[in-house]
Amino acid sequence: MKSRQLIISLAIIGISAVALSLWFNQSPKTSEPTFRNLGDSATYVGIQACKGCHSDKHATFLETGMGMSFHKAEKAYSKANFVGVKPVYDKKLNLYYFPYWENESLYIQEFRLNGRDTIHNRREKITHIVGSGQHTNSHFWTDGEHLYQAPLTFYTQKGIWDLPPGYEEFNTRFNRKIDIECMSCHTGMPQIKPGAVNVFEKLPLGIDCERCHGPGSLHVQEKSNGIIVDTRKHTDWSIVNPKRLPWKLQVDICQRCHLQGNNVLKPGKKFTDFRPGMHLDSIFTVYMPTYKGDAAFVMAGHAERFQMSKCFKGSNKGDLNKYNANINFTCINCHNPHVSVRKTNQERFNQTCVSCHNPNTIKSKLKNCSITESMRRGKTCVNCHMPSSDTRDIPHVSIHDHYISKTNAFNPKNPKKSAILSPTLTGLHAVNNQNPSNAELFQAYITYFEKFDANALYMKEAQRLLSKEAENKESVTYASIGLEAQIHYLYNLQAFSDMITLWEDKASDDYRDALLKDAWTQYRVAVAYDKLLPSQSTNAETHKAKAIQFYRNAFEAMPLNTDFLAEYTGAMVRALRTEEAKPLILNGLKHQPKHEGLLLNLGYCYYTEKQWALAINTYQKALSLNPESQATLSLIDLYIAVGQKDKAKAMYNRAKQWADPAILRGWSF
């Protein structure tokens, strides 16, 4: 009996194993299964978990641009030159920047000169280096737990230090927050702390395997349990293999990060929600400006430019849900993600082209193009048809244009061949979504205006979309363009009176209550009340109270946003509620000691308490962060109060260099 039971049990196990094997290895041609690590139950395990079984790929991947994308600030990971470096000068702000190592720590110094005297000197320790060094090394510093970009970048191709991209137009100094949108393309899978903008619970070093293969917990668990699939014959459905995906989903993996623009999230989605095997436009849509007569391209626009190519369009006409390696043309035809492009055999690029464009056929347009001769001279098809040139957005950097053209249509050294000298902005287009809704397009316009380019055209287009939607809706607050988006639009226009009218008179109580947890809407409404104080004293006090309440709502919805805390406590300080504000300020400075706004608010608290020494010391800290800080003006009053008129005069002379003369009329020395 026992033997019979054993045989039956073994038979059942055998049948189960076969069933499992068949289920794991279904052919996508018959049942079109989905990779099982797309579900929420699969979690990220990190690159070290992959190394044990895939040590060969791990070793070469670490040499790629992705593998070297983000590191701690250590000499081994810096590609910058520190010998004979001259300070970088920002003539707009009259500030100098200088990088240097002190023992094993990297610092960036900011200073201002008055003749030979140094009148401002700030230095910050660099905690991270971002960028592989193939094009750039940029630098991050940390204030408490808050991550910021430093105002100095090394441009590897030209071997020079300069301001980071965009800083030549608007130098945010040490104040540019590094948020989840930024880091989700420069690391593995970062995790932001709840209620924070730039405080991370998890910040992996470098992009890792799971960015292209999806979370690996299910895969690791099955391999640990002995469930092995012969991938030469079958597909292992426990983890995404991009080669097994339809061509459109393959491209979506790459253009998750190699598609630059204004990313507009779908409602309820986060940047970390995208997993390989998903459609990118199910998480967010990427918008880029459209120009008339413009042929320039942006640094991370590889995917967009590639998909404009006739080669791409001609090869990928078929079913979006299939992939045929002999027909479809995607990024992996040229790029092996596990191997650095610098170590890729250049013949691979030629062979990709020759697979369709055979130079030996009689009708071939390549008949007179000797690829062998070109290779002997160190050239490939890429040299002529994907020329390397400067980008529109990143200075001192040249990359290959991934728009495959018959001739070199874009040549910045010969502008007569293109119309890049005077491009005309015509609007925005959705790169990865052919039919965006008016509501999403409206969001794209107002956020592009706010984040990238304050061009009036974007707001005009937003107004056109808003008017178009309003024509077909009875209730302005329940139109497809919601109240929060309309508040944002009016905030960009600084139409504070209209914001208050919309909020108080046109929105229902239920709609307003639903937005209590929307930190940015609460903040923008707070600013409207704060900026639009009526002349009547009773209404002024009401507006002050409402401003404080909405600032509080914003802070409570996002408690690790120290800017919200500074605005909230600043409003209380101006209302002379310093006893309430002070403990909040002190707690905020524990988490972020170098927040100028919080220091200014604390200085005023000490001033009202007549704690002169503490007030002076606090304002001096704020002034050490920013040579044009409002602390300069406060210190004039403070030094007068304690009888130090010489120091007050020195502060007055310093303020004359940047402050509005009307502000300084209250003092005379």
| Tens-digit pLDDT profile for residues 55-91 | 999 999 999 999 999 999 999 999 999 999 999 999 9
Structure-derived torsion over alpha carbons of residues 630, 632, 637, 642, reported in degrees to the nearest 10: 140
Q: Is the pLDDT of residue 358 over 90?
A: no
Cα Dmax for the chain: 110
> How high is the pLDDT of residue 563?
98
Task: Please report where in the chains the tokens 């502060």 appear, as a residue.
Answer: 651
Per residue in 269-288, pLDDT (tens digit) is 999 999 999 999 999 999 99
- pLDDT above 60: residue 332: yes
Q: What structural domains does the chain harbor? A: 68-202 (no CATH), 241-430 (no CATH), 446-664 (1.25.40.10)
- Count Cβ atoms below 10 Å from residue 391 Cβ, excluding itself: 21
Contact 411, 418 (CB under 8 A): yes
Please tell me the predicted confidence (pLDDT) of residue 283.
96
**Model confidence band, residue 505 (pLDDT cutoffs 50, 70, 90):** confident
Between 3-7, 50-54, 225-229, 345-349, the lowest mean confidence (pLDDT) is in 3-7
Question: Could you tell me if 128 and 139 are in contact, meaning their C-beta atoms sit under 8 angstroms apart?
Answer: yes
pLDDT value, residue 523: 98
The answer to whether 447 touches 262, Cβ cutoff 8 Å, is yes
What percent of the chain shows pLDDT beyond 90?
68
Residue 260 is classified by DSSP as: -
Quote the percentage of the chain above a pLDDT of 70.
87
CB atoms within 10 A of CB 390: 17
User: Would you say residue 7 has pLDDT above 70?
Assistant: no
- DSSP assigned state of 271: G
Q: For residue 301, what pLDDT is reported?
A: 84
pLDDT at 665: 87
292 burial level (CB within 10 Å; 0-12, 13-18, 19+): exposed
Two structure tokens written together for 414:
């010969």
- Cα angle 113-115-119, degrees, rounded to a multiple of 5: 35
Q: 60 φ, ψ to 5°?
A: -75, -30
Coil, helix or strand for 605? helix
Split at pLDDT 50, 70, 90, the class of 558 is very high
| Separation between Cα atoms, residue 28 and residue 247, nearest integer Å | 13
Question: Average pLDDT for residues 348-352, to the nearest whole number?
Answer: 84
Average pLDDT over residues 415-430: 68
Q: What is the mean pLDDT of residues 247-255?
A: 94
Q: What local confidence, expressed as pLDDT, does residue 21 receive?
A: 37
pLDDT of residue 20: 36
Average pLDDT over residues 583-588: 98
**How confident is residue 426, by pLDDT bands cut at 50, 70 and 90?**
very high
Mean of all residue pLDDT scores within the chain: 87
Contact 627, 642 (CB under 8 A): no
Predicted confidence (pLDDT) at residue 608 exceeds the cutoff of 60: yes
Query: What is the DSSP secondary structure assignment for residue 374, as one 8-state letter?
Result: H
Instruction: Give the residue carrying structure tokens 């191997």.
Output: 339
The per-residue DSSP string of 379-403 comes to --HHHHHS-EEE-SSSTT-EEE--S
**Does residue 50 register a pLDDT over 90?**
yes
Q: What does the pLDDT read at residue 409?
A: 47
Higher pLDDT among residues 558 and 299, named by residue: 558
Q: How confident is the model at residue 506 (pLDDT cuts 50, 70, 90)?
A: confident
Kindly give, in sequence order, each residue whose CB lies less than 8 Å from that of residue 578, ignoring residues fewer than 6 positions away. 572, 604, 605, 608, 609
Question: Residues 6 or more apart from 227 whose CB is under 8 A from it?
Answer: 20, 24, 238
Q: Which of 128-142, 300-314, 316-330, 402-416 has the lowest mean pLDDT?
A: 402-416
For position 182, what pLDDT does the model report?
Answer: 93
How far apart are alpha carbons 24 and 17 in whole angstroms?
10
